[in-house]
Structure 1
C-alpha cells in the first residue's frame, strides 16, 4: 500500500485528469452549440437607420499580447461576420472594414452616425451624429480590408488582424438615408481541435499511473 504522499500524488493526477476532461467537454460542447447556430455565435438582428450617409462603429482594437499583458480576449481570436439587409428591397448596400485612421479620414466632412455605446439586455445602441455632406462612393476607396456590396443581404467576413479598425454600413453609392437590418457573428475555429486535444491529454493523464505501474512491474520481473 502507498503512503500518504503516494495517495496525495494519485489524487492530484485524478484531479488534473478531471479538469482536463471537463475543459475538453466544454470546448466540444461550445463547438456543437456554434454549429447548431449555423456555425456562428450571432447577435440578434436589429434595425439600424440614419438620415446621414454612414453608420460607423466605434474603434475595433485588436492587440498583440506582450509579456505581462492580461490574457487575450477570446473575441480577438474569432472570425467576424457582419450581415446587412436593406429595408428597401433592391437598394444596394455596402459593408466595409478598414483601418480606423483611413475610415476617419474618409468620413471627414461627411454626415455620419458613429456608435457611442451599446447595451445587450435590452439591446440598444446609441449613436452620435456628425454633420456634413454626402459620402464619396465607398467601393472606390482603396483601404478596405474586407467588403460586401450589392442588393439584398450582404455578408462580410473578416479574419481579424492586429490594428485599430472601423466598420461601416452605407448605401453603395454613398447617398444619405441608410436603413438596414443587421447582425454580427463570431466564429471560433479552434474549439473542436482544442476540445479533442484536452480530452486526449485527460486520457493520457488518467492512463499514466497504470502505465507506470506496468513498467515498474516489468522491470522488477526482469531483475528477479
Structure 2
C-alpha cells in the first residue's frame, strides 16, 4: 500500500460566502486561544512520549490520542480559516473525529515506533521543514513587503470569492496539498506514525490512490465512551500551561543571575565587552545617563554601587575620561562639535554629531565639575554611583582633535549566588509540576478519545470435550 498512514481529507463546500472570509479571523479567536494552550501541551506531551518510546518502546495510547485530537482540531480550524478557506461550517470544539465535518484526519494503525526514532526524528524532518518553511513562511522583499506562497494563494482565493463567488478548484487543491504535507510532517515529529513522510504535494480533497476500506474497519467498534467529567483534565492542562511560562522565566532568570555572579571579579565588578570609539572631533560623549533609586541597593549592601570605566589608547596618546552632571557637560561643550554615542554594532560605536565648531578643548582635566576622572594611555575612572543625570566624556588629555580608544565598562553587583540558585531551583520545581499537570491533563483528555483495546476472546477454563460413546453390538 502506497498510502500514508496519516490521511487528510478536505471536502470543499458547494457554495461559499463571498464575504465571510473577511471576518473569520474574529470568529476564530476562541479557537486560537484554546489551540495556544493545546499546542503547548502537545510540545510537553510529545517530549514525554519521546522518553516513553526511548526507554520502554511504547507510545502511551492516551498521549497518542491527545496529539491526534489536537491535530484534528487544528485542521478543522485551518480548513475553515486561513489555511484553505474551504468551508463555512464552523469548527466544533472537540478532539474527536467528526464524520460529517468537511475536514478530517484519520490515523491508520501502524507498528510501534522504533526506540531510536525519538533521537533522530527531528533531524530527519529538517529537509521537510526547509521546504515547508519556503512554502508557508513569509519572506521579506527589498520594499519590506512580507509574502509567502501560502499567504498569496489564500489571498487570491479570498479575492476570487469576493468578486466572482467562485473558488478555483486548482487553487483549493494546492492549499490542501500544502496542508496535507504539513500535517504529515507534524504527525511524524509527534511519532503518531513512524513512517517517514513522502516528498509529495498530494493535492485534492482525498488522499491519492484510495484503497478499499479494510474489512476489519467495518466491524471495528467505536471508541469507548469513558465516563466521568472532562473538567478535571482540562483544568490540569490549563493550569500546567499557565504554570509553565513563569517556571521558564524563573529558571532563565536564575541562570542569568548565576552567570553574572560567575563573571564577578574579587571586587564584585562585572566587565562589559570592549567597545571601540573613534572620532575626528575632540571628544566622544555618552550622555543623558539617568540613575535613580541607588539607595535601594546600596543602603544595606556594601559591595554594590560602583562604576568603573577603563579606556586604552589606540594610538598611544594619553587619554582623559571623566563623568560629570549632564548640565555641566552641556555648558562646557556648547558650540563645540563632538560625537554623542548612540549605540554600537559589532563592537564599534555609532554616533550622532553635535553641531558646532570643530576645535580643540582647553585642558579637559583642569575643569572643576568632574565627579571622577582618569588619565593616561590606559586610564581608569572609578565612581560610586548616586542618583542624577550624568554624561561621560572621553577626550585626548591635551584636548586635541582625533580620539581613538578601546573602552570597557564595569558595574559592581552583589553576590547573586543565593538569589540565582533560589530562582533556578524554584523554576525547576514549578517546571516539573507544570509538566506533570500538562501530561496528566493531556492523558486524561486523550484517554476519553482512545480507541478501545483489541477485543479479547472468551476467558475462563477451556470447555471439556465429551468422549465418544461406544455402543456394543
Q: TM-score, normalised by structure 2?
A: 0.32
Q: How far apart are residue 60 of structure 1 and its match?
A: 1.0
Rounded Cα–Cα distance in structure 2 between residues aligned with 1:43 and 1:181: 14
CA contact (8 A) 1:114 1:130 kept: no
CA contact (8 A) 2:309 2:382 kept: yes
Counterpart among 45, 55, 73 of residue 275 in structure 2: 45
> Could you say which residue in structure 2 is the equivalent of 1:81?
308
Q: How far apart are residue 193 of structure 1 and its match?
A: 4.8
Counterpart among 353, 363, 372 of residue 137 in structure 1: 363
Counterpart among 147, 161, 183 of residue 407 in structure 2: 183
Unaligned runs of 5+ in 2: 1-234, 295-303, 431-473
CA contact (8 A) 2:322 2:373 kept: yes
2:356 is aligned with 1:126: no
> Could you say which residue in structure 1 is the equivalent of 2:381?
156
Which protein has the larger Cα radius of gyration, Structure 1 or Structure 2?
2
> Could you say which residue in structure 2 is the equivalent of 1:117?
342
Change (3 A) 1:145 1:201: farther
Rounded Cα–Cα distance in structure 2 between residues aligned with 1:169 and 1:54: 6
2:253 is aligned with 1:23: no
Rounded Cα–Cα distance in structure 1 between residues aligned with 2:249 and 2:359: 56
User: Per chain length, whose mean CA-contact separation is higher, i.e. which structure has more relative contact order (CA < 8 Å, sep 6+)?
Assistant: 1
> Could you say which residue in structure 2 is the equivalent of 1:63?
292
CA contact (8 A) 1:34 1:41 kept: no
More helix by share: 2
Change (3 A) 1:167 1:47: closer
2:317 is aligned with 1:94: no
Q: How far apart are residue 24 of structure 1 and its match?
A: 7.0
Q: How far apart are residue 112 of structure 1 and its match?
A: 3.6
> Could you say which residue in structure 1 is the equivalent of 2:212?
none
Counterpart among 167, 190, 199 of residue 392 in structure 2: 167
CA contact (8 A) 1:81 1:155 kept: yes
Would you say how many aligned residue pairs link Structure 1 and Structure 2? 191
Deviations 1:109-134 (A, max 9, x none): 4x341316224458541230531543
Q: How far apart are residue 167 of structure 1 and its match?
A: 0.6
**3-state SS of the aligned residue for 2:417?**
helix
CA contact (8 A) 2:320 2:374 kept: yes
**3-state SS of the aligned residue for 1:130?**
coil
**3-state SS of the aligned residue for 1:105?**
helix
Unaligned runs of 5+ in 1: 1-7, 66-76, 206-224
Change (3 A) 1:99 1:40: same
**3-state SS of the aligned residue for 2:287?**
coil
Report the aligned-residue RMSD. Answer: 4.4
Q: How far apart are residue 145 of structure 1 and its match?
A: 1.6
> Could you say which residue in structure 1 is the equivalent of 2:441?
none
More strand by share: 1
